[in-house]
Amino acid sequence: MIVALLLLVVARVACGGKGRLAVDELGALHLSASNGQPVFVNGIDVSLMFELLGQQNQRVEASVTTMQRRLEYFERSCCCVNNRNPTINLDVNVGFGINKWRGGVLANNGLVYGIPSHSSSVLILDPITKTVDVTSITGLTDVGGKWVGGVLADNGFIFGIPSDASMVLILDPATNTADTTTIANLGPDAAKWNEGVLANNGKIYGIPHNSQNVLILDPTTNSTDTSTLANIAVGTRKWRGGTLASNGKIYAIPSHSPAVLIIDPSTNTTDTTTIASLGPNEYKWFGGVLADNGKIYGVPHNSPAVLIIDPATNTADTTSITELGGESGKWSGGVLSNNGLMFCFPHDVATVLIVDTKVDTSSMIAITDPESSGERWDNGVVGPNGLVYGVPLDATSVLTIHPGC
């Protein structure tokens, strides 16, 4: 009876020349109209229904995003009402290992990717679930010092800066895959570049550590250039990390060098004479942070003072934030939290350095259960939840900092 009814409908629709109702070889029923006309079921336009459902889904997603933002605002408000101070915990364990990862990058998917130094795998941290994954991206060899720092490009890929490695590490957070063959043949020299900076032109500039050349990486073509900005300065461990200022220039932070390296991507020029005379000391500062006031703050490693660079005047200040101790290897890298405080990650010390860039003062918060020894953390990121995460170097756990209010 049903088959006869279907045959009758097919015959009537087909004879009318206005559509088709058919059953394919798999038994699926197909109903279609000619000339792209809409199909109605019980008076409802099916195509329009799916379009409206898609629009409704977008509205739901927008509402969820709005609610999340309101919740975050509420949490921050409660924090401020309670005058919450910064707090630290070490509850995300990553296991033992020496010089595992150096630096991390927050991807567009909300996950943090730790860049492998000695580790053969990429560290993937989920700030929401407080879990880590070291098995999805692995097999990168355990040769030491491979990459130092990474940069999120405009195309969503993460580019690991080659230090001892002869190739760039390309991570695709969408598929959790790694590519070490597309950008290769950069030479076997050790400690070539340390960290990189994304310029306004979309290119990534690798900061010279032992190399005499700036590494220019184009993520759109996966090509590199080491000849345009070449023969800058001889020496080892010259600069460690850099920061893009509001004037579009990159300021590389002096480690062994007595001068700040200023890179102008718009003119492809470098300058090591304008901000100089910062002393011959070694390992002075490791990394820099751009504050809301437009100044760049260099993180003290061996130096007892914070380096403050004013890109508006191209001047340096090492007298405003001082007396930070004579220990070597104090902090390595820093970030600016959402409340305007700068947090510097402990390297050989058991304290987090906090710099208030609004008034140029500093304070420290002790880690009550510090890692016993070794180079603890190397740089970090601000997560999508506003918390600060330090990337484990020798440490066995992620350093999680609630920045307070």
Q: Do 306 and 300 meet the contact criterion of CB atoms below 8 Å apart?
A: yes
Buried b (16+ CB within 10 A) or exposed e, 148-161: bbbbbbeeebbbbb
- What six digits make up the tokens of 275? 């901000």
DSSP symbol at 84? P
Q: Do 150 and 158 meet the contact criterion of CB atoms below 8 Å apart?
A: yes
Cα-only R_g, the chain: 27
Q: 205 - beta bridge partners?
A: 197, 216
Q: Do 330 and 349 meet the contact criterion of CB atoms below 8 Å apart?
A: yes
Task: Tell me how long the chain is.
Answer: 405
Torsional sign, CA 253, 255, 260, 266:
negative
**Would you state the pLDDT for residue 371?**
63
Which runs of E-coded beta strand occur in 34-176?
Answer: 40-41, 44-45, 87-93, 101-106, 112-116, 123-126, 131-133, 147-152, 158-162, 169-172
182-189 LR contacts (CB < 8 Å, sep 24+) = 182/222, 183/217, 183/222, 183/223, 183/224, 186/162, 186/215, 186/224, 186/226
Q: Residue 100 and residue 98: Cα distance in Å, rounded?
A: 5
CATH number given to 84-402: 2.130.10.10
Q: Where are the alpha helices (DSSP H) in 1-122?
A: 2-16, 46-81
Q: Do 165 and 152 meet the contact criterion of CB atoms below 8 Å apart?
A: no
Q: Residue 200 and residue 84: Cα distance in Å, rounded?
A: 36
* Nearest partner of 193 among 181, 182, 205, judged by Cα: 205
Task: Report CA 127 to chain centroid distance, whole Å.
Answer: 13
Q: How far is CA 214 from CA 217, 236, 255, 273, in A?
A: 10, 14, 16, 17
Give residue limits of the domains in the chain: 2-37, 84-402
- What six digits make up the tokens of 15? 């004879």
- What six digits make up the tokens of 313? 């005047």
**Would you state the pLDDT for residue 29?**
66
* Nearest partner of 379 among 404, 405, 342, 325, judged by Cα: 342
Q: Do 252 and 242 meet the contact criterion of CB atoms below 8 Å apart?
A: yes
Low-confidence ranges of the chain (pLDDT < 50): 1-17
Q: Do 147 and 162 meet the contact criterion of CB atoms below 8 Å apart?
A: yes
